[in-house]
Structure 1
Amino acid sequence: MNKPQPRISQEHTDEIFALAAQLQAKHEQSYSLAELKKIGAEAHISPEFIERATKQIQRKKQRESRLETILESLSNAVAVMILFSFVTGFVGLPNGHCSLAKTQPENTRVLPDG
């Protein structure tokens, strides 16, 4: 017996088709290495240089992606530290009060200086 296929509501179909069209357009605007070499040959560019350029661009994109990931992680860590400082009271309060200031127990007296 065949299981029934999950159904997709009408409200999602427009979004699905729009995204599918974008993905197809991106795919059609990309080239295989063989296609790039063929285009390069027509422009009198050696396949060796097409390969080298392709590898350099791929490495550059990988570095940019890693840097983006590192910056995003760092940004998230800073946000967590700031949130933690507010929650735990490590941030100064308005009017010069600080939540970490020493407080005097209720049953002690302050002795005059001198």
Structure 2
Amino acid sequence: MSGPLWPPSRFWQYWALAGMAVLTAAFWWSVRGYAIIESGVPRGQIADGLLRFSLLILTPALLLTWLAAAWLRRRIGEGGYWQFLGLVTLIWAGAVFVTRMLLS
């Protein structure tokens, strides 16, 4: 063992806080996006494609990035992990934002 296990390091404290936001947002978009798909409301091809892409590709990518923290931290460092999580989060949030704009 390299150090005490409790309290957790600052990295894991921030990871847990980020997880609350990531998991809540992913759950919200998964439920909302599925409801939009099932509603049968007519959508354009771009809106429909972006909706499906954000649900099937970007949301799992966001969750996997958050879950793979220990593995990514060893390979790209703490700062690199937060930059990578931020990049994936911004891409995901942008897709959700544009999809919502196109559907309203």
* TM-score of the pair, normalised by structure 2: 0.29
Structure with bigger gyration radius:
1
Structure possessing the higher relative contact order (Cα contacts under 8 Å, 6 or more residues apart): 2
